[in-house]
Amino acid sequence: MPLQTPTRILVVDDDDAFRESVCAAIARDDAMVLAAQVGNAESAREAIAAGQFDVALVDLGLPDGNGIDLIREIARTRPDADVMVVTVFGDEAHVLASIEAGATGYLLKRSLNDTLGATVRELRAGGSPISPVIARQLLHRFKKDSPTPAVVDDGGLSEREREVLLFIAKGFTVGEIANMLHLSAHTVATHVKHIYRKLAVHSRTEAVFEAGRMGLL
């Protein structure tokens, strides 16, 4: 059988030591290959224009620009690529702005550790990795901002789809949800696709955001 093509990674971070550690982790994993590593927004734009990447790991604080602008550019020009924010900023403003710009995942730098390979695989499988502290923050925000509605707009979701959505919001993977609900992973993945379509979203992060806004969580 032919070998699976490695996932091409673009690393955008101005912290030389952190960037080098990420590049070293990529080099150790045969499923990934370094497409480019850059330390500023100008070089990142050149790499984005070249388009030779599948996943972009983007820091938000760059010396000559804002990582959120880069996320928007990637979402516009490379909709098939995934963007994972990897940053020290865990405040609500940065998180929500990144999601709205098109990020498909959000990790604090201290959460990455040795999980880069698993994180990238989850991204390319349609998941949206989020640091637990960020997920909890978003859920608290939704609970705080959402009024107690007399009637909740369920978005047309079935009871089973709402059950799967709740597990998604808690950060469980498709496989874990399948085990807990005694379903096949294929069935759960189908439910996830239906949830995305009914909520008009394209990622786990957007689904949690929209479900919270609608009062479903």
pLDDT tens by residue, 143-155: 555 554 444 456 6
- Among 160, 166, 186, 159, residue whose Cα is nearest residue 175: 186
* Residue 2 is assigned to a structural domain of this protein: no
* Residue 166 is assigned to a structural domain of this protein: yes
One domain for residues 158 and 127:
no
Q: Is 197 helix (H, G, I), strand (E, B) or coil?
A: helix
Range of the domain at 19: 7-137
* Residue 188 is assigned to a structural domain of this protein: yes
Residue 158 CB neighbour total at 10 angstroms: 13
One domain for residues 130 and 160:
no
One domain for residues 12 and 118:
yes
Residue 208 has pLDDT above 90, yes or no: no
One domain for residues 126 and 155:
no
Residue 46 has pLDDT above 90, yes or no: yes
pLDDT at 150: 41
One domain for residues 125 and 191:
no
pLDDT at 14: 95
Question: Both tokens of residue 79?
Answer: 């909709």
pLDDT digits (tens, 9 = 90+) for 21-44: 999 999 999 999 999 999 999 999
Whole-number percent of the chain with pLDDT over 90? 41
What's the rounded Cα separation, in Å, for the pair 86 and 168?
21
One domain for residues 94 and 176:
no
* Residue 142 is assigned to a structural domain of this protein: no
One domain for residues 73 and 98:
yes
* Residue 99 is assigned to a structural domain of this protein: yes
**CATH number for the domain harbouring residue 159:** 1.10.10.10
Global confidence as pTM: 0.67
pLDDT at 145: 55
Number of structural domains, the chain? Answer: 2
pLDDT at 8: 97
Radius of gyration of the chain (CA): 18
In sequence order, what are the beta bridge partners of 7? 32
Domain boundary at 137, 167, 195, which? 137
One domain for residues 116 and 153:
no
Give the pLDDT band of residue 214 (cuts 50, 70, 90). Answer: confident
Domain boundary at 137, 156, 176, which? 137
One domain for residues 96 and 155:
no
One domain for residues 114 and 43:
yes
One domain for residues 132 and 182:
no
The arithmetic mean of pLDDT across residues 46-66, rounded, is: 95
One domain for residues 157 and 85:
no
